[in-house]
Structure 1
């Protein structure tokens, strides 16, 4: 009888060990895929590179000759001048979405990119949806991290665009099931200090876009805001809106998308067709560039179109040039002669899958990138 009890105890012990080991493996996989947060020991946003050295990055990018040449072989330019470390990929100081308390997020995923004469802005969302989305502000000249801007809620923030005419940062967002764009004034961005207030930044304006499924990515060109919808199965659309300054019902000056509808809702002035899986758009002189990414198993693509010759159809068949890029390419933005390129593969959930994984924004000369 005693022997039988002993055997039963051993069986139970082995079963418990099996359950514990299975649980640990499951926990590890969920953590590695960004489904749950890692244990956070940091108390502030990390500013150092989360992945390898510059030499390792250059080695990984050697398989992409056009990008490598434009980023690292520019005459008279040190390669380090063309890279900007994305902060917060290991730890980001933000708010817990439900508790509204300061907390470290370990699954921030970069999405949107914008620049002005002084700053580089990178948006990111929490992969687990536990924490408020943020915008990292970097010094454009040195690349050093200045601060994080904590947004209200958990928008995907897939697109950023800086509006030089009105000194505004446009951010793609959503209100329930309706696409939306919000604005932050440069004055408010510069004055904001999360470590002092522990509150989200106040939006300058918010405008709903009911005629597009989702504001996946945006850019400002001249007086117009362009909004594109990401579709991974079929062709999609790019909407154009004229940006204006007007007064709301209270007589307050607000920024609007001038379609005559209202200051809180807008319809597009123009609709163009674009291809599937578009993550970013940017204009350079008379060219339109679209960035495409389709996950870990495929390279990304940067497509270039001649805007003067094409009419409302910026799908693959009309592309002038296609350049192969590493996977997980997100938004691209033009500043003068340069193109800034953002990848999301530096995020913890994706960093084992990139080809290579990239935790830097890359800056390249547009003409060099597209040189034959």
Structure 2
């Protein structure tokens, strides 16, 4: 019986070693970051999260003087979704915007007008509030309401604003149906008023499991992920605004559970939902931070 037990333990030990070896090989293949900004404690801080200690970060965008990360509640009894506001200059935490509902706020975008709006995914719609509200949340949690809600015929899973071509992109996530995996493009009219409109422009296909999109002039990045133990992918494209076509330049493997991505002039930032309490202990390679990557390394 002792020999049987020893053999069983040896098999278990070998299995664990093999799993760990596979894990380390995978982790070693991930690209190095240029900088990391730890948000592990922030998403667990109920005083900075509208009373919730189980926030799940999703979207990320630049907004003038700020960098924004949207998050929704992972608790059984949901709290309102929030936007964490960071100073753009050094990525230090500035304050929190408390949104009017509990929706899965997968996307966030700024329409690049100081008198304009921050746009947020709101299920089968997008809502917006004035950019000026961001300054008012310094050192506190500030509740806002949407000054405009635009209804959609699909789920606003993620979105971005292309300041070069002045379009709001809204993409829908689909795990396995390519016909439902698309991004639609809208102009933003009357953005300085209380009732901006979103006239439809065109649609393109995007990869399955799209979690984040960023378009900046002739460059595009799409974050794709699904599953706590599956590597994410970051697709980098050149984008032709005239022909409305994207050309794939590279596919980069990232840690599991990547969500939003946003490009600056030099760096791209990616947020991972594995930092959330719901996923951190069960994800094969949890990431405590949102990460900065040099864009030129991705071939665009």
TM-score range, shorter chain: 0.7 to 0.9
For 1:244, the equivalent position in structure 2 comes to 189
Q: SS at the partner of 1:124?
A: strand
Among 172, 176, 189, which residue is 2:121 paired with?
172
For 1:153, the equivalent position in structure 2 comes to 101
Matches of 1:335 and 1:217, distance apart in 2: 18
For 1:83, the equivalent position in structure 2 comes to 36
For 1:320, the equivalent position in structure 2 comes to 249
Q: Please show how residues 342-361 of structure 1 align to structure 2 within 5 Å.
A: 342-361=271-290
For 2:14, the equivalent position in structure 1 comes to none
Q: SS at the partner of 1:243?
A: coil
Among 86, 93, 110, which residue is 2:47 paired with?
93
Among 122, 130, 151, which residue is 1:208 paired with?
151
Matches of 2:194 and 2:274, distance apart in 1: 40
The alpha-carbon deviation at position 361 of structure 1 amounts to: 1.0
Cα distance change, pair 361–339 in 1 and its aligned pair in 2 (3 A): same
Bigger CA radius of gyration: 1
The alpha-carbon deviation at position 114 of structure 1 amounts to: 0.9
The alpha-carbon deviation at position 62 of structure 1 amounts to: 5.8
For 1:183-230, what per-residue CA distance to the aligned partner results, in whole angstroms no more than 9, with x for missing partners?
A: 1212122124795xx7731223221123xx200000101311000000
For 1:236-257, what per-residue CA distance to the aligned partner results, in whole angstroms no more than 9, with x for missing partners?
A: 111111111079xxxx652211
User: Any unmatched runs of 5+ in structure 2?
Assistant: 1-23
Q: SS at the partner of 1:256?
A: coil
Q: SS at the partner of 1:269?
A: strand
For 1:319-359, what per-residue CA distance to the aligned partner results, in whole angstroms no more than 9, with x for missing partners?
A: 33111110000010011121011100000111123342112
Give TM-score scaled by structure 1 length: 0.66
Matches of 1:60 and 1:193, distance apart in 2: 42
Among 155, 158, 174, which residue is 1:231 paired with?
174
For 1:104, the equivalent position in structure 2 comes to 51
- Structure 1 position 300 matched with structure 2 position 232: yes
Q: Please show how residues 3-42 of structure 1 align to structure 2 within 5 Å.
A: none
Cα distance change, pair 275–269 in 1 and its aligned pair in 2 (3 A): same
Q: SS at the partner of 2:101?
A: coil
For 1:218, the equivalent position in structure 2 comes to 159
Matches of 2:190 and 2:242, distance apart in 1: 30
Cα distance change, pair 254–199 in 1 and its aligned pair in 2 (3 A): same
Cα distance change, pair 233–312 in 1 and its aligned pair in 2 (3 A): farther
Q: SS at the partner of 1:191?
A: helix
The alpha-carbon deviation at position 63 of structure 1 amounts to: 1.3
- Structure 1 position 255 matched with structure 2 position 203: no
User: Any unmatched runs of 5+ in structure 1?
Assistant: 1-58, 73-81, 96-102, 260-267
For 2:12, the equivalent position in structure 1 comes to none
Matched pairs, number: 270
For 1:63, the equivalent position in structure 2 comes to 28
The answer to whether the Cα contact below 8 Å between 1:94 and 1:132 also exists between their aligned partners in 2 is: no
For 1:334, the equivalent position in structure 2 comes to 263
Matches of 2:87 and 2:241, distance apart in 1: 38
For 1:63-117, what per-residue CA distance to the aligned partner results, in whole angstroms no more than 9, with x for missing partners?
A: 135x21xx24xxxxxxxxx22222532223378xxxxxxx631211001111134
Q: SS at the partner of 1:105?
A: coil
Q: SS at the partner of 1:219?
A: strand
Q: SS at the partner of 1:254?
A: coil
The answer to whether the Cα contact below 8 Å between 1:112 and 1:122 also exists between their aligned partners in 2 is: yes
The alpha-carbon deviation at position 164 of structure 1 amounts to: 1.2
Cα distance change, pair 326–150 in 1 and its aligned pair in 2 (3 A): same
